[in-house]
Amino acid sequence: MCGILAHCLFDKAAQIDEAILRSMADTMVHRGPDDAGYWVRGRIGLAHRRLSIIDLSAAGRQPMENEDGTVRLTFNGEIYNFAELRRELEGRGHRFKSSSDSEVILHGYEEWGGPGCLSKLRGMFAFVIWDDRRQALFAARDRLGIKPLYYRNDGSSLIIASELKAILKHPEVQPAVDTTGLLQHFGFRFTLPPRTAFEGISKLAAGHSLSYRDDRVTVEEYWRPPGAEALEGPERSLDEWSEALRAKLSETVEGHLISDVPVGAFLSGGLDSGSLVALASEFSDQPMQTYTAGFGSGWHDESSEAKEVAAMHATDHHETQIQPSTPALLEKMIWHLEEPLINTSSIPLYAVSELASRDVKVVLAGDGSDEVNGGYQKFGRIDQLLRWRSFRDAVPGLDGLANFASGLLPTTNTGNRIKRLNQITQGPDGAYAAFSSSAFSGSGAQDTSQSLFAPEIASQFGGMTSEYEAALLDDYRELSSAKQRFFLYDMRGWMANELLIRADKITMAHSLEARVPFLDHELVELCLSMPPELKVTQDTTKAILRKAMQSSLPSGTTARKQHGFVVPIHEWIRGNWRERIEDLSRDTRCRTRGIFNAARMDTMIDDHMRGKADWTAPIFGFLLTELWHQTFIDS
């Protein structure tokens, strides 16, 4: 895992300023504390911050060149099938200088071209290649979006980097708010690519590549989760599917253990991380290092369950207890997250990443399993919503009555949930954004968000759902299974643009590489071919995975409902965050920047602090957004 940077000037006679290139790369030292490399030739500059994982020698340094020095690479990630690709490329006459997985991308580009090389890679990656002979640049982000990649094209130059702050460091880049991007963080909890929260800086979408040649920048999709035709798997029983899943997951975990440094694992006590620990333990003669974060007590604490899994597989288990977070920690997290990603689970993830980084450079993580295996309880409610939709269709006038009654409800958490439910049942696909982020979780509710923002900003919420549909939903409307459609919507939206970006940045804040075996693209394609009705029922989630792992985990682990990290934010807002929140709301910068409705914000904060209402989600969103403004915009 590393930090990568490329800067290309469109003027062929121009010269890259290496001092500026180095200062930009140095903003990502946490991504690569082991080494730094730079290469400048006229109008092109590449930089690399290295976290040494495979081939720890100097031969693995980047930017890396091919045999004659005409092609250069800066790469972040891991290629798990690199040994197989290396043998194939050596058979075609390519000479390797290192034992690094990075070098197969370099020679693969030479042999198969950019798109052809991408089709061969199995792993997580973001990389930039400069082809000196063609005076062309080629960049790509992995299929599922495990590794982030950002770019800025101002018409005279192109900057590409692993992190936004590297681009912002350039003296000609002035940070400004993309208002629509900011609203999307509140409405969807992420931005739709290519948008970010910064005006003029774009995010390369998962499964996309970027090419530059002759002053033209082109972005193309090279992979997407398979459509209707490819999703029709063979007819199998639950037992047969569970056997197939276990075999493929076991193969994937083995591949994800390839490393020249020790590999540990996050262990929450749930099914996903427990499955990875169970399978990984089969491939190691030494006790695996496992890490968990607990809260000491409460239903949201899974530390005792994690210990049970650790004991079953004889791991060397480590635990940290989450203490009430401080505003200073939030400011540090915002610096690493770079956008106001409104998710409370960042706090325990930050703590457990810090713990793991004391011992290891690499951990396995269960991210992505909920999306590909049907882990969210909301998926089990889809059939209920469709039945209610059929009932509404059958009763004349019921739509109008429901809409009228919904309009009379107050803007409260309960009122917003009912409004979202009403919107969803008018058309599950068209209201997916509301279903995903608001109806059952209460977080990011658009009605609450609209009242939180200044009127001229709030008025932009109206077109957000249609933009969401065009970006994520239209490609899969032909699928007959509503559950399957919603699995895919979550993968392309929430997972690729929030979950994985947040996981990458929080772990890399501690120079820790997180590997996610559940998102191996071959495993994903297998899971998407499974009947969704077998994965999820009204009462059970991840049924196939539970069956596959029941012999390797405690019975309580395979039976327990998933709930993830649950953080007592509502208590912290009334506790040690209170003073900071109230200070921010009174700050002249906040009240005059024209983003928030100051009077409404004052009322929400006052009502929450006095216990008259629970405005945890919008206040937490306000807190992170204002800290983000002060960190990246005001400064």
Nearest Cα neighbor of 72 from 96, 101, 107 is 107
Q: Which of 2, 8, 117, 590 is catalytic?
A: 2
- What CA–CA distance (Å, rounded) separates 398 from 403? 9
Nearest Cα neighbor of 209 from 104, 121, 134 is 121
- What CA–CA distance (Å, rounded) separates 586 from 608? 16
- What CA–CA distance (Å, rounded) separates 362 from 513? 5
Nearest Cα neighbor of 65 from 155, 145, 129, 136 is 129
Report DSSP letters for 280-328, one per residue. HHTT-SSPPEEEEEE-SSSTT--HHHHHHHHHHTT-EEEEEEPPPP-HH
Element (H, E) at 605: helix 598-609
Q: Which amino acid is at 475?
A: D
Q: How many CA atoms lie less than 13 Å away from 336 in the CB half-sphere? A: 23
Q: Which amino acid is at 405?
A: A
- CB–CB of 618/448 below 8 Å? yes
Q: Is 2 a catalytic residue?
A: yes
Measure Cα distances from 212 to 139, 167, 200 in Å. 9, 18, 18
Element (H, E) at 434: helix 432-434
Residues 444, 506, 413: CA angle, nearest 5 degrees: 15
- Kindly list the catalytic residues: 2
